[in-house]
Amino acid sequence: MATRILLVRHGLSSFNLEGRIQGREDASKLSDPGMEQARQVGRALRDIPLTAAFCSPLQRAQFTAELALQEQGQGLKATSTDQLLEIDLTPWSGLARAEVAQKDPQQELNWRQAPAELQLQRADGSSYYPVRELRQQAEAFWQELQQRFPAEEDHSVLVVAHNGILRCLLLAALGLPAEHFNRYRINNASLSVLNLRPGGQVQIESLNTISHLGEALPKRSSGPRVLLVRHGETNWNRQGRFQGQIDIPLNEQGHAQAHAAGEFLKTVALDRAYTSSMSRPRQTAEAILKLQGASVPMTSCPGLVEIGHGAWEGCLEEEIRAGWPDLLAAWQSLPHTVEMPGEGGETIQQVWDRSVQAFARIVAGLGDGETALVVAHDAVNKTILCHLLGLGPADIWAVKQGNGGVSVIDYGAGAQGDAVVASLNLTSHLGGVLDRTAAGAL
């Protein structure tokens, strides 16, 4: 049993089209393209029975929720709540971004580079920090969601709101501060999925999926882009055996997943590719590169090999539970405290150190506008993504990595500034907008 939270940003609005600041300004209406995006969201959710739906009271979000739920076909109505209002940027409302930069250059710079430090003045002259206030607002809504729809039950809850408040909801779910506001991208009419699990654990199943809109990947910035992919399925994944550093190749389903990832990415020009030195990620990368229109150089990176499970490698979970019950329980709840038993056993911190270092070297070697494919493993990808999201080794279960899933990481020009996780665990090419791939063993 688990509760699934489906986060949807409103469709393209009139202010979005005009490049104007919206905030809580309710003159911004859902555009004609935004209406169609809302319907596309509803069609993507037709197979998902929803328990409840909530939306911001601003008209662009309300209309998105209404159209999406009409198309979804369950007859559900969304409940409007002020807790989903967008960020309060009243002094800037209606202004073009260039006008904001001219009117308030220092605060506009903070908005782009240090949003938690953005400070504005209300009409009465008092100062406030919009992002910090929004983070508190999101916390209140998140706590209410968990109380109303506990993880011990089975719910799917739709939340339709705005870019800023959805980013803050992600921060609230992961226990992160307002300073991490810019680490995510949330496109118009995108779908992100959070799983609530018993014990208070939260998992990002997917982030910023837009395949239902007819687009594979979000538009990129001017800097480097990395496509991080988990290898396709192996027989040991299917059986639930702990693989670790035993070199198990892809099975038939894994080859099909690798080919599907290649089809998904074939219109994306890849400049170079990097893979763990093991067979399953290498075979996945080869299948993806086979569908590229030009030859792409591929480099093997030992730092990206899967975690060494030591004595657990080749074992089923029930076999591990029989031999190491306390250690397995710790691995499932406090993974950062565990050193795998036996020769070659690693800690998550050791995997973190080598995988993050290897990833940093890859990014450092990319030029602006270049795109690299990186294919690795479940634990390796999780450590990299947790690092990019501002999480730590204790949080590796907070991100899901389906076999053949694709994550997108963007950097500013010259790879300066924090990375932006533009999408996480995209699996629509494997069937549906939700991740239906087996979790498999590491």
Q: Around 355, how many Cα atoms within 13 Å sit in the side-chain half-sphere?
A: 32
Rounded CA separation 132/113 (Å): 15
The set of residues, in sequence order, having a beta carbon less than 8 Å from that of 65 and lying 6+ positions away, is 8, 38, 53, 55, 78, 158, 160
Look up tokens 């290649």; give the residue: 262
Parallel/antiparallel/unpaired status of strands 3-9 and 52-55: unpaired
Please report which helix (H) or strand (E) contains residue 351, including its range.
Answer: helix 348-364
* Joined tokens for residue 63: 């209309």
Per-state percent for the chain, helix, strand, coil, to nearest 5: 45, 20, 35
Are 238 and 256 in contact by the 8 Å Cβ rule? The answer is: no
Distance between the two ends of the chain, CA-based, in angstroms? 22
Residue of 155, 212, 231, 309 with catalytic role: 231
Rounded CA separation 397/204 (Å): 9
Residue of 25, 108, 306, 313 with catalytic role: 306
Across the beta sheet with 79-80, what order do the strands follow? 79-80, 52-55, 155-161, 3-9, 191-197, 201-209, 420-426, 406-410, 225-230, 371-376, 272-276, 298-301
DSSP state of 313: T
Q: Around 311, how many Cα atoms within 13 Å sit in the side-chain half-sphere?
A: 11
Beta-carbon count within 10 A of 412 CB: 17
Helix/strand number for the chain, H first, E second = 14, 14
Tell me the CA distances in angstroms from 37 to 4, 59, 185, 425, one per residue in order. 22, 15, 17, 21
Rounded CA separation 119/117 (Å): 6
Smallest CA-to-CA distance from 240 within 439, 2, 1 is with 439
The set of residues, in sequence order, having a beta carbon less than 8 Å from that of 294 and lying 6+ positions away, is 269
Catalytic residue flag (residue 339): no
Catalytic residue flag (residue 231): yes
Look up tokens 């911004």; give the residue: 28
Rounded CA separation 277/18 (Å): 48
Q: Catalytic positions, please?
A: 231, 306
